[in-house]
A and B are shown apart, each in its own frame.
Chain A
């Protein structure tokens, strides 16, 4: 079984400050990990993914995420938040060794609010 937890329903950050959106996962094997962003009235957009290799993954719009196997975490980060980063963020996991139907398990989402 695979699952994702996003422990914070909402994260509030002042513009210009660093932001972190947390994600922990549970898989039986090794994971593929993804972050998606959803702007109001829009579909989800892919931000970045971890497959293998370097634990620090860089993605779109200046976002990055750090894979930590020992803590089973994949936190999303950005050094300097923008008001336009305000959106709903989803972490997702797929167990690369699983025959579970190739499902991508999503977290419940974290609402990021960046204030001017």
Chain B
């Protein structure tokens, strides 16, 4: 089973709202990732957690705040977003940490629209 789940599937929010995206995996994977993907572009890495610790932050604006409450869960807290932040937000996980070149499995994504 290589399932990564994400909620919600769709989210519409105003620029003053606070919302959270959730990601869950029960495969015992040691690394979890957040990606942002715009139309016709490849996924763009935002954050990497290895063993529940933030290991990579790709200079993401502070209006995006990741959290890893435990080894199975990953959250992305959103606050004061801009319309250009509208995108598909993807969560992924891998058995190996990033330095081991492990296979990443993606969740279905959350389609975010910022008005």
Q: Do A and B bind each other?
A: no
